[in-house]
Amino acid sequence: MFNTNDIYKSALNYTLRKRYGYKTPIKTIKRFNQKNSDLNDICKYIDQKMDLKNKTKKDFLKILNSYLSPYNKLFRTFKF
């Protein structure tokens, strides 16, 4: 039997590495699953928040962690 959450986490890790050029720590990836996130929404969220000209890994991880903040979760349920 396949564990779909593990497949999702692997796909998320691969996509973030290829799209933004940073290796995401396993500790951060473990916080994401299919119930609390969506791959397209994560990429859109990062694109909106990140300055692509002056990007750093520290900023990338800060934005990625803010995606799962309680405040952000509340507003993500209401998609405008």
**Residue 17 confidence (pLDDT) above 70:** yes
Q: Which residue has the higher pLDDT, 68 or 11?
A: 11
Taking the C-alpha atoms of residue 78 and residue 22, their distance in angstroms, rounded to an integer, is 30
Tens digit of each residue's pLDDT (9 = 90 or more) over 24-40? 999 999 999 888 888 99
pLDDT of residue 76: 59
Taking the C-alpha atoms of residue 56 and residue 38, their distance in angstroms, rounded to an integer, is 23
pLDDT of residue 61: 92
Once rounded to an integer, what is the mean pLDDT over residues 52-70? 86
Q: Any idea where the domains of the chain sit in the sequence?
A: 4-76
Return mean pLDDT, the chain.
86
Residue 60's alpha-carbon distances to 8, 10, 17, 57, in angstroms, are 20, 18, 11, 5
